[in-house]
Amino acid sequence: MTGSPARTLLLWCPDWPVLAAEIVDGVPATGPVAVLHANRVVACSERARAEGVRRGLRKREAQGRCPQLTVVEYDPGRDARAFEPVVAAVEELVAGVEVVRPGACAVAARGPSRYLGGEEAAAERIIEHVAQSCLVESQVGIADGVFAAGLAARAGRVVVPGGTPEFLAGLPVEALGRSALADLLRRLGVRTLGDFAALPAGDVLARFGFDGALAHRLAAGRDHRPLAVRQPPSDLTVTAEHEEPIDRVDTAAFVARALAEQLHDRLAGHGLACTRLGIEAVTEHGQELHRVWRHDGLLTAAAIADRVRWQLDGWLSGSAGRTGARPARPTAGIIRLRLIPDGVIAQAGLQTGLWGETGEERERAHRALSRVQGILGPEAVVTAVLGGGRSPADQVRLVPWGDERLPARPGPAPLPGEPITSGADRAAGSGRPADRSGGAVPPWPGRLPPPAPAVVLPSPLAATVHDAAGEPVVISARLAVSAPPARLVVGSGQPTEIVGWAGPWPVDERWWAPAEARRRARFQVSLADGAALLLAVEAGRWLVEAIYD
């Protein structure tokens, strides 16, 4: 894409899910409030943050930090419905408003800055008008492109023209909003957007794929779309006419899904994906309603349907925000609904393959697993995430399907063949090997060498180990083995000969807190029957922790 991104003014309402709950459901946002989705906090009030509540916390942990916490379930329809009066207030001053998401909307900065006396004056005027009309606090950011303007809005900044790359360079990679990519970049030693932007674009595409290339453009301060957005052919617009006016939200939701699938199929047939969606509605009395929704990625059929449903919900519910002075409900039911793909990009990955749609199996699996969660709860479907830790049980964390796959323990996992540092925490200060990724975060000291065990027992099994003379094998405080291990008995089973062993690998954890201190030594043993086990000695007791394949 040639040329620099257009100057963009973005209005952002902090903690919007919390504020929407107050507007729609009457939950006081001045108290400790947390909005939860999939049992995790997605937004919280300022009072809740003061009590230690943070995004990403589980419900139980958040309530443990703040016992008086008011919990509200996440409802994107409620957020969109409550945000409609804010968008309408902005439209009273500027034209061409695009909804980025509930709580944020953007507009080209050139027009407002010219007739409102400059960019800073336009920002102040819009903030003041929204506060007076809707009783909603907001912040405005202006920068080159929507992505940079969104980050500038969180800081309440007006970035000078041409200064967007410098503004973005010092921000952490987490600002991209892609947790998995940010985690991988940090493990590779890339910690800021400037570091990421400095990488060759071709190498980024080859290593991280299409979404990584899109994120790379964002980090460099270029237009948020990976390719030039063009005006789509006129035949891509889909329209639905209704003899009976639509005045109920549930009926509108049904119509929205059918129309969204029709639009998505038409775009896919041309190898296109929608990044900006125009929604138009005409009422029985001839009233015309229009709104544009923007999305940084690719709008799937489900995403299109959600946005249409949210918008229709906002129109038909007639939410007037906090003031109640300006009813927004149409004067009659909707008789015509039109979806306009205002911005599209060519996406080869959406073209039909030889034996069906690309990614169809993944989407079907995601819907099935999400359905199971809806029936049995979010904890019923989990996936494993590899993280830091010294023992195999510490390195694997099970997270509910759909949650962020973030390791519970900091620090990258060493790769096979990476040098291992054994010994106590207190001795690991200067002896840690450097991280293979080139970063400053070292691997865990005291970690076992590869290969990793195939089965990690949920509860270690009690065992006894004897030497060749039948005496119990003991480990001294200086990690001296009394005699080579010769026989192993697990529980009340039969003795098995030990034909090979390695160790001990000591771990001395939290020695500075006597109540939490833990000291143990681990051994790898091979048995005569072909099995291989991971044993641990703790407080004089032998335990079987894991089984090797």
Q: 514-535: per-residue pLDDT in tens?
A: 887 888 888 888 998 888 998 9
| H or E segment and range at residue 246 | strand 238-246
* Count of Cβ atoms closer than 10 Å to residue 103 Cβ: 23
Q: What is the pLDDT of residue 323?
A: 54
- pLDDT band for 363, please (50, 70, 90 cuts): low
Which amino acid is located at 449 in the chain?
Answer: P
Q: What is the pLDDT of residue 99?
A: 86
Q: Is the pLDDT of residue 421 over 50?
A: no
In this predicted model, which residue has the larger pLDDT, 139 or 344?
A: 139
Q: Which two tokens stand for residue 52?
A: 């230690």
In this predicted model, which residue has the larger pLDDT, 48 or 493?
A: 48
Span of 284-298, 302-316, 361-375, 498-512 with lowest mean pLDDT: 361-375
Tell me how far apart the alpha carbons of residues 210 and 266 are, in angstroms, rounded to a whole number: 22
State pLDDT tens for residues 446-494. Answer: 777 777 788 888 888 899 998 888 888 888 888 888 888 989 988 888 8
467 backbone dihedrals φ, ψ, rounded to 5°? -90, -175
Peptide bond into 451 cis (omega under 30): yes
User: 261 vs 130, 184, 254, 301, 340, CA distance in Å?
Assistant: 35, 34, 11, 5, 13
Q: Is the pLDDT of residue 168 over 90?
A: yes
- Cα of 237 vs its chain's centroid, Å: 32
Q: Is the pLDDT of residue 328 over 70?
A: no
- pLDDT band for 229, please (50, 70, 90 cuts): very low
Contact 175, 185 (CB under 8 A): no
- pLDDT band for 406, please (50, 70, 90 cuts): low
Peptide bond into 410 cis (omega under 30): no
Burial readout 240-265 (b: 16 or more C-beta within 10 A, e: otherwise): beeeebbeebebbbebbbebbebbbe
| DSSP SS3 for 401 | coil
Burial readout 433-460 (b: 16 or more C-beta within 10 A, e: otherwise): eebbbebebbbbbbbbeeebbeebbeeb
Mean per-residue pLDDT for 47-71? 92
- pLDDT band for 5, please (50, 70, 90 cuts): confident
With a pLDDT cut of 90, the percent of the chain lying above it is 23
**Which residue, among 142, 275, 165, has the nearest Cα to 217 in the 3D structure?**
165
Residues 6+ positions from 253 with CB-CB distance below 8 Å: 309, 312, 313
Q: Which two tokens stand for residue 531?
A: 């099995």
Contact 93, 125 (CB under 8 A): yes
Strand order in the sheet with 33-37: 40-44, 33-37, 70-73
**Which residue, among 292, 293, 238, 240, has the nearest Cα to 266 in the 3D structure?**
238
Q: What is the pLDDT of residue 285?
A: 85
Q: Which two tokens stand for residue 184?
A: 């991988």
Mean per-residue pLDDT for 326-345? 76
User: 411 vs 9, 57, 408, CA distance in Å?
Assistant: 38, 19, 10
Tell me how far apart the alpha carbons of residues 81 and 443 are, in angstroms, rounded to a whole number: 47
